[in-house]
Structure 1
Amino acid sequence: MRTKQILVGQEGISIIEMMITMTLVVIVLCLNTNTFGVIFKYSRQTNQAVGAQMDRAVGFEMLRIDLEQAGYGLPWSFQNTITYQEASSAGYNDAPSGEPRALVSGNGVGYKGSDYLVIKSTTVGMSDTSQRWTYITDGVVPHSWGSNDLENGDRVIVVSPQAQGGTYGKRLIMDGANFFTTFSTTSFTAGFSPPTGERYVIYGVDKDTDLRRPFNRADYYIASPSKGARTDDSDGCAPNTGILYKATLNHGDGDLSAGMPLVDCVADMQVVYGLDTDNNGAIESRVNDISSLSASDIRAQVREVRVYVLSHEGPVDPGFRYPNANVMVGESASLGRTFNLSTIGTKWQNYRWKVSTLVVRTRGLSS
């Protein structure tokens, strides 16, 4: 017969102890939930800020390269009387027969008073052809580099490094009224081939479209997103901000391309030029308007271009307060402007605003 055992001194958990334990568990879970919420919030803000920084770095690098090579491949004179076409909107044109200016800009004429910048050279095009060049001496066979060569059918211009009288001058070679030709690796057009003892430089301009002008052109400007003006911050950018675009001028129809977005959440862009007015190699003055300068003056005087861009990093942050409503975009109020952030909207203080400065020494103006 089995004897019943009585458990002595072994007690269970009381209801009070269980309630205390459950309360502590709930408190810990709530703390973790709040912590995860804070971490997620700041992680999202950090990720968007880092993304904005990367986009800005890539966009500025494209602008820097184009500014450095402004004027590259541009003719300084024409062998014959020339007639060419540029943009449908004539504001920054040198057509129909003017010597092309490497740099042109509109001061305060762009989006909400921002500047508008135009760069002309052969290399600002978006095709591989526009990044290539070669030369031709006696005969009709251009030099081959062995890689990254111009290809048969590419549209090219031909430039003689000698102007009339034998001085250095980058004279555009023409065959009658024709100012461009198609490239051939074995039988280059006779009318664009040099006489014995001379060398011509061949610049690629476009892959397969007949040229409207003997150069490429890129316009940099701020505009609203393609979906329309921003009236709120639903896409992560402050209202009344835009996008910095690069648009190239088509040879087919003279219209600007749809534009490549470079930097988002942009409120302003200002352009300032450093001029060497006495040809001593030093910058004597800075201006924000070079509309009075000829193509020759621009080559001789413009030594530096500074671009100032006001944008913000990351989305709206109710816990952050930007300290100043007025931000200097540029050298001074006369070489740039004081931007009033309150025009952005009521939440302007909750964005991390930043003025980015791009300083570029021009290298292609005289090459």
Structure 2
Amino acid sequence: MRFITDRDKGYSIIEVLITLFIVSLILSAAYFTYVSIFKSMKGESESVELQMEKIVGLELLRLDLEHVGYGIGKPLTLGSDYLILESVNDGKDLLIRSTMNNTNNTTIGWVLCNNNAGNDPVHAELEAPNDNLVFVDNEGFVAGVVNDGLCPSDGILVGFPFDPASTGCGGTCSEIVYYLSNTNLPSHCHPQTYNLLRKVNNATGGNPLLSCVADFKFTIDLDIDDDNIVDLTDQIVDNSIPANDLRLQLKRINVYLLIQEGGFNPDYEFKNYSTDSNGNYIQVNGMKLYLPGSSDFIHYRWKVIKISVKPMSIIK
């Protein structure tokens, strides 16, 4: 006669249910851990992507600011088209004038003439061949414009290559405009942010440099008494300063950008902001940069970037 043991009985329904319950808890914990890690990795990936975008875009902006006025000699009669820097579109956009366009290597460099009219320059430092040159004498006045690469007259002259499609300075300097647009805004950006675009010589549309930009402002620092000390800081660019005075007084250009970092995070709440009658803002050096108008902006991270550049190439 064989006796029935506990081993022969198998598992009871309660034991099976308890086992399933424990397994489901483990699977749920694993799932939520996976989701949390995935969200974190996605957020980090977006943050890294934005950081790389910022490095490239901000470096190009810095180079353009550094070369404000590069190659722009003084004409006999100064006009508004020779302003090396101005605001356009009711002060919303920044326009830079320079013979150098940092995304066009044919405009990078210079040549030197030394009493050799009608001949090749005695020295050339050109990034790429370009026979379109505007020459400036040792007093900073335009001495001639050529399309054959030859020295226009005797004297010590410095020539700057320019793009023949240039729209500024009588066709010898490029006009580079920085402006905000919400066209083709990336999906991870707050819908009330913008792309910062760069447009050269009235091109159709512009090239995006930075995305998820909530606000963009620019100011200048001036030395008004010619003692090489800044007298006025963070002055609004209102185009009221005569072109020659701007050349002499401009010491620094400041650009402020309020940029979103990372994507939407319902578990995060941004708190470092103030409010006035115009909306919510972050203030830096007295400059107010406004956040998106909708209340969900608090679920994004925001950062103010300031670029302050001393123009290196203004012809005085």
Distance 1:292 1:193 in 2: 34
Are 2:110 and 2:126, in contact at CA under 8 Å, matched by a contact in 1? Answer: no
Q: Normalization by structure 2: what TM-score?
A: 0.84
Change beyond 3 A, Cα 1:247–1:21: same
**Structure-1 residue corresponding to 2:98:** 121
Moved more, 140-149 or 59-68: 140-149
Change beyond 3 A, Cα 1:67–1:329: farther
Are 2:198 and 2:206, in contact at CA under 8 Å, matched by a contact in 1? Answer: yes
Distance 1:344 1:315 in 2: 17
The offset of 1:37, in angstroms, is 0.7
**Any idea what SS the aligned residue of 2:137 has?**
strand
Residue among 158, 182, 190 paired with 1:201? 158
Change beyond 3 A, Cα 1:277–1:64: same
The offset of 1:145, in angstroms, is 4.8
Matched, 1:349 2:301: no
**Structure-2 residue corresponding to 1:258:** 205
Change beyond 3 A, Cα 1:65–1:136: same
**Structure-2 residue corresponding to 1:87:** none
Residue among 98, 103, 118 paired with 2:85? 103
Are 2:166 and 2:175, in contact at CA under 8 Å, matched by a contact in 1? Answer: no
Matched, 1:172 2:142: yes
Are 2:165 and 2:171, in contact at CA under 8 Å, matched by a contact in 1? Answer: no
Structure 2 segments unaligned to the other structure (5+ residues): none
The offset of 1:209, in angstroms, is 4.7
Moved more, 68-77 or 8-17: 8-17
**Any idea what SS the aligned residue of 2:80 has?**
coil
Identity of aligned residues (%): 25
**Structure-2 residue corresponding to 1:276:** 223
Moved more, 58-67 or 281-290: 281-290
The offset of 1:141, in angstroms, is 1.7
Distance 2:218 2:146 in 1: 36
Matched, 1:327 2:281: yes
**Structure-2 residue corresponding to 1:177:** none
Change beyond 3 A, Cα 1:272–1:7: farther
**Structure-2 residue corresponding to 1:157:** 134
Distance 2:67 2:179 in 1: 18
**Structure-2 residue corresponding to 1:11:** 7
Name the amino acid aligned to 1:235: S
**Structure-2 residue corresponding to 1:94:** 80
Are 1:270 and 1:330, in contact at CA under 8 Å, matched by a contact in 2? Answer: no
Change beyond 3 A, Cα 1:49–1:275: same
The offset of 1:23, in angstroms, is 2.8
**Structure-2 residue corresponding to 1:245:** 197
The offset of 1:27, in angstroms, is 1.6
Change beyond 3 A, Cα 1:67–1:203: same
The offset of 1:17, in angstroms, is 4.3
Matched, 1:224 2:215: no
**Structure-1 residue corresponding to 2:288:** 337
Are 2:71 and 2:315, in contact at CA under 8 Å, matched by a contact in 1? Answer: no
The offset of 1:269, in angstroms, is 0.9
**Structure-2 residue corresponding to 1:291:** 239
**Structure-2 residue corresponding to 1:3:** none
Change beyond 3 A, Cα 1:156–1:330: farther
Name the amino acid aligned to 2:143: I
Change beyond 3 A, Cα 1:145–1:285: closer
Distance 2:132 2:283 in 1: 41
Distance 1:24 1:53 in 2: 43
Matched, 1:310 2:307: no
CA RMSD of aligned residues (A): 2.9
Greater percentage in strand: 2
The offset of 1:144, in angstroms, is 5.0
Distance 2:300 2:20 in 1: 41
